[in-house]
Amino acid sequence: MKSVVGKLLVLIASVSVILGTLPACTAEKESDDDDSDKSEQEISDEKSYYKIKHVDISPKIDVKMASSGKEIFETKCSACHKYDERYVGPPLGKVTKRRTPEYVMNMIMYTETMLDNDDTVKSLIQTFMLRMPNQNVTEQDARNVLEHLRDYAQKN
Amino acid sequence: MISMFTFLLMSTIATSALFFTGCSGGADTKAIGSVADAAMKVYVAPGAKDEFYDFASGGFSGQVAVIGLPSGRLIRVIPVFSMDPEKAWGFSEETKPMLMTSHGFIPWDDSHHPEFSMNDGVPDGRFLFINANNTPRIARIDLTDFRTKEILEIPNSAGNHSSPFTTENSEYVVAGTRFSLPIPNEDVSIETYSEKFKGTLSFIKVDKATGRMSLAFQIVMPGFDYDLAHAGKGPSHDWIFFTCYNTERANTMKEINASQNDKDFIVGINWKRCEELAAQGKGQVVNVSYAHNIYNDETHTASSAIEKNVRILSPADTKGNVFYMPTPKSPHGCDIDPSGEYIVGGGKLATVIPVLSFSKMLTAIQDQKFDKEIDGVPVLNYKAILAGEVEKPGLGPLHTEFDGKGFAYTSMFVSSEIVKWSLKDYKVVDRVPTYYSIGHLGIPGGDTKKPWGKYVIAYNKITKDRFLPTGPELFHAAQLYDITGEKMKLLLDFPTIGEPHYAQACPADLIMKNSKKIYQLAQNKHPYATKKEADARVVRKGNEVHVYMTTIRSHFAPDNIEGIKVGDKVYWHLTNLEQDWDVPHGFALLGANNSELLIMPGETCTLLWEPKTPGVYPFYCTDFCSALHQEMQGYVRVSPSGSSTALTWNARK
C-alpha cells in the first residue's frame, strides 16, 4: 500500500513538472499566455521560510506607490522581466494573479531563501536555468513594485 | 577550544608531516617543534575566517597584498601605483587619471610602507596610506572597498622612503627624502652635492572627515638620506622622528663613503609647533608642480590636477623645534614603543640597538646639551638622551615592533633572526632564526599604543630552498611566529607578492563591519551611467561613439551594434545593473589594445576602443556570472572609414 502511494506521488509530481505546475499549488501555472481571470490571490500563504509573513493589500491601488514601484521595476527588474512575454525570466504582467503578495515580496527581497526553499521557484530555475539575482531592494521599494504589478495586472 | 574532529584532523596532518620528514625535504621540525601544534594554530577551517587582515606592501609590484592571518592566505591584491589589466586599473578611462604625475602618466612604482589611519594611536580601520618610492607619491586606500581613492605627488623629493607614517590621530602623514636633491631641482654638477643638495621632510594634512590629503608644508634639511620615520604618541604626541644616514654627505660609492661616521642621527621634530609656524606664515611659498589625483565615489571617476605651491620652512624658521639625536650607525628603522617614551633606532651597521628616551630628550633640549650644530640644526648629546643599549643583539638590526607586554622584537638582517628584548632592562630574552635575511617585521598593531601581540611576521628577502623551485627568481616569503609564550615559535611560511617591505595588520572586525557589498545604482552619478536597460543606446558625436551598455545576469544590452567605422573612437560605458554582492560582470573585446573591464554591481566603467580594420568583433563577459555566462556575448560591426553603414543597435523596451 505504502509503495503504491509513493509511486502515485512520484507520478503526480512528474506530471506536475511536465505541466509546469507543482503539487503544492496545482492551481498555479507558469506560462506566457496565462490570462486566466482568477482574481488576485488574497489568501495569505504563510510558508515557514517566508521572511515576510503577511502583506496588507487593499483592493484599491495606491497610485503613488504604484508609480514609484514602476521606476524601481524599470531599473532593477526590467533587464530580465517583461510584462507579457518570456524574457530572461518569466513575464510579470499578471504575476499577482498567480502568486500571493507574500510570495512576490519574499521573491524580491529574500531571493536566495526562496530559491533554496520554495518548490515553485525551484521548478522555475529548471525552466529558466538561472537563479534570480537579489537586487537589494528595500521593503518599501519591494512593496511599491508589488503595487505596480497589481496595478498592471488590473489594467491589462 | 577545539573539537575532537579538529584534533583528529590535526593529528592526521601531523602524522603525514612527520612521515614526509622521513623522505626528502620534510617539515623543519627543529624550528617548529610539534607540527600538530603549529598546524592547529594556523589552520582556518573551511567557512571560518581569519582573525587578522594583514596589508603587505608589494615593493616593486607597486601594489598592496591583503593577507589573512594566521592562515597566510592571499585574499586580495589592491592595485595602487601599477597598472593592473585584471581590474582595468590605469586602463579604464575612469582610472587613468590616478596614475598621472608631473612627469606624465607613470604605469609603475615601488611601494614600501603601508600605514593605517589612526585615532588615539590605534588603527581606526578607515584608510591605508602607502608610499611610492621612485616617483614620490602617497596613496590613500579606502578600506570599505579596498580601492585607491587618492594619490598625491610630493614635490622637492626623491626616494620617498621615510613615508607615509602618520601622527597619533592621522593629523598628518609625512614623506621624507632618501635621496637629497638640489632644491629647486636644477642643472648642477653632482660634485656640488655637499653644498647644494638638500633633504625635505613633507607634512601632508589629512582631512578628518574625508581623509583627503593636502601638502601643508615642507622642512628643508641638510643633504642626508632620510630613511624611515614614526610619530610619537601619548606624551610624545606632538613629535615625529626620522632616521637618517649618509651624514657624510657622500654622493658616490655610498656603500663605503656613507658608512664612515660612527653615529648618524634620528631627527626629532615638533610638528605641532612647525604647524603653528607655517600657519603664522613663516618660511616661503615656492613654485612647484605636483599632481593630485582624486577618485570620486559618486561618479566612479578619477580626476587629476596639477598643484603649484608649497610652503617651505628652513632650519632657521624652525629653530628650537628640530633636533638631531646621535644614533649608531647608519640607522634604518625608527620605532616608538606603545608608551611613546622610547625611540628605537635600528642601526644597520651598529653593534648595539640604541634606545633613546623622549623625556630625556626634552630635558636635554631644555638644558641645551648640544654637541654642535649642523646647518643650524642642534645636535643633542648622545649620553644625555640615551635610555639604554641592547648589547650583542645580533647583526644588522633593522626594524622593531612591540607586543604591548613590555617586549620589543627587532629584525636582524645580517644574522637572519628576530630578537626579543625587554624594554625594562634592554636584555635579550629570546631569538629565533628566519629563513632568510629578514627585512621588516610586523606585529598586528605593533607600532601603535595597543598592540595585538599574538603573532610576529617576518618579511624575508631571500626564500631559497623553502618552496618548490621556480627557476632563478623565487618569490619573497613571509613567516608567522607565535609570540604568546615566552619563546617565539615558528608556525608557517607563506608566499607574498612582489617584495614586501613593511606590512601592517589589524583585527578583521575593525574592517569587516564597514565592508561595502555593492555600489548603490541609485547613487551612481557617472555622467555615462545607464540605469535601466531601456536606456541602453549608442550615440555618435563626429568620430566619437559612446555606447551606453548595461549588464545583468546574463546579457549585454545592446548586444549587436553596427555602424562603427575605422577611425572612430568608441567609448564603451558599461553599467552593471546588478545590486547583489560579488556579482561583477566583465567586458572583453577582440583586438582591444588596453584591458578588460570588471564592473562591480552598480558601477559604471569605460573602455576606449579604436578599431583599425573592418570586420565583425565579438565581445563577452569575462567573469563567470551564471549558468548562462557563456551566452553573455555580443557583436560589433566595423565598416571602412567613410562607409554609409547606419548606426544601429538592438534596443529592448
Query: How far off is chain A from B155, nearest CA to CA, in Å?
Result: 45
Structural domain of B560: 521-649
Q: Do A136 and B579 touch (CB under 8 A)?
A: yes
Give yes or no: residues B416 and B480 share one domain.
yes
Domain A29-155 maps to which CATH number in 3.20.80.10, 1.10.760.10, 3.90.550.10, 1.10.10.10? Answer: 1.10.760.10
Residue of B nearest to A84 (CA): B653
Could you tell me if B234 and B339 are in contact, meaning their C-beta atoms sit under 8 angstroms apart? yes
Domain boundary among B490, B512, B534: B512
3-state helix, strand, coil in chain B (%, to 5): 15, 45, 45
Which set of grid coordinates corresponds to residue A91? Answer: 513575464
Give yes or no: residues B504 and B591 share one domain.
no
Number of domains in chain B: 2
- Mean pLDDT score, B212-233: 98
Could you write out the DSSP letters of every residue in chain A?
A: -HHHHHHHHHHHHHHHHHHT-BTTBTT----TT----PPP--S----TT-SS------SS--HHHHHHHHHHIIIIITTT--SSS-SSS---TTHHHHS-HHHHHHHHHSHHHHHHH-HHHHHHHHHH-SPPPP----HHHHHHHHHHHHHHHHH-
- Mean pLDDT score, B426-451: 97
In what order do the strands lie in the sheet containing B331-336? B331-336, B342-347, B352-357, B386-391
Of B531, B557, B583, the CB nearest to A75: B531
Residue A2 has pLDDT above 70, yes or no: no
- Mean pLDDT score, B487-516: 97
pLDDT the model gives residue B651: 76
Q: What percent of chain B has pLDDT over 70?
A: 96
Cα–Cα distances in Å, from A156 out to A37, A142, B71? Answer: 11, 21, 59
Residue B554 lies in a domain: yes
pLDDT the model gives residue B29: 81
Question: What single letter denotes the amino acid at residue B642?
Answer: G
Phi, psi (rounded to 5 degrees) for A30: -110, 95
Q: Quick one: pLDDT band at residue A15, thresholds 50, 70, 90?
A: very low
Kindly tell me the sign of the dihedral angle through the C-alpha atoms of A23, A28, A29, A32: negative
Residue B32 lies in a domain: no
Query: Which of the pair, B215 or B13, is modelled with greater confidence?
Result: B215
pLDDT the model gives residue B15: 42
CA distance B550 to B558: 7
- Mean pLDDT score, B485-503: 97
Residues in chain A within 8 Å Cβ distance of B553: 80, 88, 130, 133
Q: What percent of chain A has pLDDT over 70?
A: 71
Which set of grid coordinates corresponds to residue B217? Answer: 608644508
- What are the tens digits of pLDDT across the range B135-168? 999 999 999 999 999 999 999 999 999 999 999 9
Residue A38 has pLDDT above 70, yes or no: no
Give yes or no: residues B508 and B527 share one domain.
no
CB count in 10 Å sphere of residue B375: 12
- Mean pLDDT score, B111-132: 98
Residues in chain A within 8 Å Cβ distance of B578: 133, 135
Give yes or no: residues B625 and B589 share one domain.
yes
> For residue B388, what is the enclosing H or E element?
strand B386-391
Give yes or no: residues B116 and B206 share one domain.
yes
- Mean pLDDT score, B62-75: 98
Residue B33 lies in a domain: no
CA distance B413 to B396: 5
Residue B276, SS3 per DSSP:
helix
- Mean pLDDT score, B105-126: 98
Domain boundaries, chain A: 29-155
Residues in chain A within 8 Å Cβ distance of B517: 136
**Helices A63-72 and A139-155, axial angle in degrees (round to 10):** 110
pLDDT the model gives residue A44: 54
- Mean pLDDT score, B524-539: 97
Residue B406 has pLDDT above 50, yes or no: yes
Q: Do A79 and B557 touch (CB under 8 A)?
A: yes
CA distance A75 to A86: 18
Angle at B205 between CA B200 and CA B209, to 5 degrees: 165
pLDDT the model gives residue B91: 98
Q: What are the helix (H) ranges across B314-386?
A: 358-366, 382-385
Give yes or no: residues B533 and B431 share one domain.
no
Whichever domain contains B548, its CATH number is 2.60.40.420
Residue of B nearest to A71 (CA): B532
Residue B314 burial (10 A CB sphere; 0-12, 13-18, 19+): middle
Could you write out the DSSP letters of every residue in B520-588?
A: -GGG---TT---SGGG-EEEEETTEEEEEEEEETTEEES-EEEEEETT-EEEEEEEE---STT--EEEE
Q: Do B579 and A130 touch (CB under 8 A)?
A: no
Residue of B nearest to A112 (CA): B580
- Mean pLDDT score, B522-537: 96
Question: What single letter denotes the amino acid at residue B89?
Answer: W
Give yes or no: residues B472 and B554 share one domain.
no
CA distance B190 to B179: 12
Cα–Cα distances in Å, from A12 out to A7, A20, A29, A57, B305? Answer: 9, 12, 15, 34, 70
Residues in chain A within 8 Å Cβ distance of B629: none
Q: In angstroms, how far is CA B266 from the centroid of its own chain? A: 23
Residue B129 lies in a domain: yes
Give yes or no: residues B626 and B504 share one domain.
no
The region that residue B498 occupies, defined by phi over 0 for left and psi between -120 and 50 for alpha, beta otherwise, is left
CB count in 10 Å sphere of residue A140: 12
Q: In angstroms, how far is CA B192 from the centroid of its own chain? A: 34
Identify the CA nearest to B305 among candidates B161, B150, B502: B150
- Mean pLDDT score, B636-651: 96
Residues in chain A within 8 Å Cβ distance of B626: 130-131
Give yes or no: residues B551 and B455 share one domain.
no
Residue B562 lies in a domain: yes
What letters, b where the CB count within 10 A reaches 16 and e where it falls short, cover A75-104?
A: bbbbbbbbbeeebbbbbbbbbbbbbbbbbb
Q: What percent of chain B has pLDDT over 90?
A: 92
Q: Quick one: pLDDT band at residue B653, thresholds 50, 70, 90?
A: low
Helices first, then strands: H and E counts in chain B: 9, 46
- What are the tens digits of pLDDT across the range B269-303? 999 999 999 999 999 999 999 999 999 999 999 99
Mutation target to probe the B interface, by most B beta carbons within 10 A, among A72, A82, A86, A130 is A130
Of B517, B518, B532, the CB nearest to A78: B532
Residue A9 has pLDDT above 60, yes or no: no
Q: Quick one: pLDDT band at residue B31, thresholds 50, 70, 90?
A: confident
Q: In angstroms, how far is CA B544 from the centroid of its own chain? A: 38
- Mean pLDDT score, A45-61: 91
Give yes or no: residues B497 and B531 share one domain.
no
Could you write out the DSSP letters of every residue in B460-506?
A: ES--TTSS---SS----EEEEEE-SSSS-EEEEEEE-SS----EEEE
Give yes or no: residues B507 and B547 share one domain.
no
Whichever domain contains B449, its CATH number is 2.130.10.10
Q: Do A74 and B534 touch (CB under 8 A)?
A: yes
Query: How far off is chain A from B519, nearest CA to CA, in Å?
Result: 11
CA distance B487 to B37: 14
Of A74, A76, A130, the CB nearest to B553: A130
pLDDT the model gives residue B289: 98
Of A78, A130, A133, the CB nearest to B628: A130
CA distance A56 to A61: 12
Could you tell me if B176 and B156 are in contact, meaning their C-beta atoms sit under 8 angstroms apart? no
Residue B289, SS3 per DSSP:
strand
Residues in chain B within 8 Å Cβ distance of A134: 579-580
Mutation target to probe the A interface, by most A beta carbons within 10 A, among B523, B535, B551, B578 is B578
Residues of A with CB under 8 A from a CB of B: 74-76, 78-80, 88, 129-131, 133-137
Q: How does the average pLDDT of chain B come out, rounded?
A: 94
First to last CA, chain A: 49
Q: Do A76 and B550 touch (CB under 8 A)?
A: no
Query: How far off is chain A from B532, nearest CA to CA, in Å?
Result: 5
- What are the tens digits of pLDDT across the range B35-61? 899 999 999 999 999 999 999 999 999
Instruction: Find the range with the poorest average confidence among A24-28, A132-136, B6-10, B395-399.
Output: A24-28
Mutation target to probe the B interface, by most B beta carbons within 10 A, among A75, A107, A110, A137 is A75
Domain boundary among B512, B533, B567: B512
Residues in chain B within 8 Å Cβ distance of A109: none
Give yes or no: residues B415 and B448 share one domain.
yes
Contacts for B15-19: CB closer than 8 Å, 24+ residues apart: none
CA distance B270 to B252: 32
Residues in CB range of B187: below 8 A, 6 or more apart: none
Residue of B nearest to A78 (CA): B533
Residue the block writes with cell 523596451: B653
Question: What single letter denotes the amino acid at residue B300?
Answer: H
Cα–Cα distances in Å, from B555 out to A7, B11, B519, B577, B587? Answer: 41, 49, 20, 11, 11
Domain boundary among B512, B546, B577: B512
- What are the tens digits of pLDDT across the range B303-350? 999 999 999 999 999 999 999 999 999 999 999 999 999 999 998 899
Q: Do A75 and B554 touch (CB under 8 A)?
A: no
Q: Do A134 and B579 touch (CB under 8 A)?
A: yes
CA distance B107 to B299: 23
Query: How far off is chain A from B650, nearest CA to CA, in Å?
Result: 14
Is there a cis peptide before residue B184, judged by omega within 30 degrees of 0? Answer: yes
Residue the block writes with cell 512593496: A143
Residue B189 has pLDDT above 80, yes or no: yes
Residue B16 has pLDDT above 90, yes or no: no
Cα–Cα distances in Å, from B266 out to B126, B226, B252, B386? Answer: 30, 9, 23, 12
Which set of grid coordinates corresponds to residue B52? Answer: 587578522
Of A78, A80, A135, the CB nearest to B580: A135
pLDDT the model gives residue B293: 98
Query: How far off is chain B from A47, nearest CA to CA, in Å?
Result: 24
Residues in chain B within 8 Å Cβ distance of A126: none
Could you tell me if B576 and B602 are in contact, meaning their C-beta atoms sit under 8 angstroms apart? yes
Q: How does the average pLDDT of chain A come out, rounded?
A: 80
